[in-house]
Amino acid sequence: MPVIDADSHVLEPPDLWETRLPRHYRDRGVRIVDRGGIETLEIGGSVVMQGTLAGLGGAETVPRSKLFDGSMRYVDGCPPASYDAGARLRLYDEWGVDAGLVFPTIGILPFLTDDLDLLSALARAYNDWQADFAAGGRGRIIPVASLNLRDRDAAIAELDRCLARDFKAVFMPPEPIDGRLPGDPWFDPLWARCAEAGVPLCFHVVVRFTGAGRPFGDWLDAGAGMLFGFSLGATAQLIPTIAHLALSGVFDRHPALKVAAVEAGCGWAPYLMDRLDEKHHILGDLLPVTTRERPSDYLRRNVWFVAEPEERTIGAVLDLVGEDRVLWGSDYPHIDSTTAAPDQIRASVAGLSPDRQRAVLGGNAAALFGLSLP
């Protein structure tokens, strides 16, 4: 049976944007520089992180305790498989994994600039590198496009460029863009192009506590701790995103649009369906738009969920949401991932029927992303 990792990452080379951006953008792009002995990540001239960049990776590479004490550099947290295609294929072979989607890491962080041309250039540079990385993977490294969603026309043009290079999905931050929710009709031309091409929108967690993560920021500031944030931050971003999409009418306007909820698990999907359906039945007349179907109908038809490797609710989600709705992901090589993930997901689905095991381990991902494995 095919085994496909639907949520892994690259750790971009530190000089990616400096070497691939047009020269006139490089001093305002994405840079990792030394500021008084402190390694600093700058985006658009603004400081985003200082001293803890090794914590962007770190999956069993160095002790977690050292990732945030300032003694480690970004590259210390980058295992070879995070940036070298040959090493990634060797890892897949060790894992018994046929292929994997690869999302950005630094590219997920907010680009803190209002220069829309620069934002588009940053996305092009990343996608160019990602295409080269995937080309070394012999069809087993599946690239995910990054778009400047603040410029719709530029995003459509970049999407077409990525489709021509065999990208299979689009990375989406689970939050409003310039005050626009993802169900806003402003995005319709872009969503129509994605639906036409059969390319899923992958709403992927952004590990930060501003923007959509702000509700947990107060808890963290008051001392709730990093484990609290890692545990709850994902669903805090993805549940509102998927709930909004189901209530916004976007799936009526684009019935073929595919959405994947990535890095937040799957066990919350049945609860959300029941909760939305109940409130929709009682208070549906308060919606700003009238949807043609119940919220649960859209989740069953338009949305897929990426399970965590040790989730115990996968069987129930298959029963209640659909046998073709659940994928799995390792989150490799991020700090909260483990190289045991493929063994863990095999153990998690071992009690399911052979057909359901095949679906979760790789069949659903192959169908969703249109993969023809070598």
Range of the domain at 226: 4-13+81-369
Q: What are the pLDDT digits (tens) for 144-173?
A: 999 999 999 999 999 999 999 999 999 999
**97 occurs within a structural domain:** yes
With a pLDDT cut of 90, the percent of the chain lying above it is 75
**18 occurs within a structural domain:** no
pLDDT reported for residue 164: 98
pLDDT reported for residue 325: 98
pLDDT reported for residue 16: 96
Query: Residue 71, Cβ neighbours under 10 Å: how many?
Result: 11
**168 occurs within a structural domain:** yes
In this structure, of 65-79, 93-107, 113-127, 215-229, the range with the lowest mean pLDDT score is 215-229
**188 occurs within a structural domain:** yes
pLDDT reported for residue 132: 97
- What is the C-alpha separation between 118 and 279, in angstroms, rounded? 43
Q: What are the pLDDT digits (tens) for 202-216?
A: 999 986 655 555 667
| 366, 373 Cβ separation under 8 angstroms | yes
Give the distance, in angstroms, between the CA of residue 95 and the centroid of all CA atoms in the same chain: 21
More confident position, 48 or 110: 48
Give CA angle at 133 (129, 137), nearest 5°.
Answer: 160
Under 8 Å CB-to-CB from 127, ≥6 apart: which residues?
143, 145, 146, 158, 161, 162, 165, 167
**27 occurs within a structural domain:** no
Under 8 Å CB-to-CB from 282, ≥6 apart: which residues?
none
DSSP labels, 230-298: HHHHHHHHHHHHHHHHHHHSHHHH-TT--EEEESS-STHHHHHHHHHHHHHHHHGGGSSS--SS-HHHH
CA dihedral 28, 29, 35, 41 (to 10 degrees): 140
Q: What are the pLDDT digits (tens) for 305-360?
A: 999 999 999 999 999 999 999 999 999 999 889 999 999 999 999 999 999 999 99
**48 occurs within a structural domain:** no
Evaluate if residue 374 carries a pLDDT over 70: no
How much is the CA Rg of the chain, to the nearest whole Å? Answer: 20
With a pLDDT cut of 70, the percent of the chain lying above it is 95
**Mean pLDDT of all residues belonging to the chain:** 92
pLDDT reported for residue 206: 85
Q: Residue 180: which of 248, 237, 115, 129 has the closest Cα?
A: 248
List alpha helices for the chain, DSSP H. Answer: 16-20, 85-95, 116-135, 152-163, 188-197, 214-221, 226-248, 250-253, 268-283, 295-302, 314-320, 341-349, 354-358, 364-369
Q: What are the pLDDT digits (tens) for 40-60?
A: 999 888 888 898 888 888 766
**231 occurs within a structural domain:** yes
pLDDT reported for residue 71: 82
**300 occurs within a structural domain:** yes
Evaluate if residue 4 carries a pLDDT over 80: yes
Q: Structure tokens of 86?
A: 């040959």
Max Cα-Cα span within the chain? 59
pLDDT reported for residue 48: 86
CA dihedral 334, 338, 339, 342 (to 10 degrees): -110
Q: What are the pLDDT digits (tens) for 218-235?
A: 777 888 887 887 788 889
3-state secondary structure (DSSP) of residue 149? coil
- What is the C-alpha separation between 243 and 287, in angstroms, rounded? 12
Question: What is the domain count for the chain?
Answer: 1
Q: What is the CATH number of the domain that holds 164?
A: 3.20.20.140
Evaluate if residue 112 carries a pLDDT over 80: no
- What is the C-alpha separation between 69 and 3, in angstroms, rounded? 37
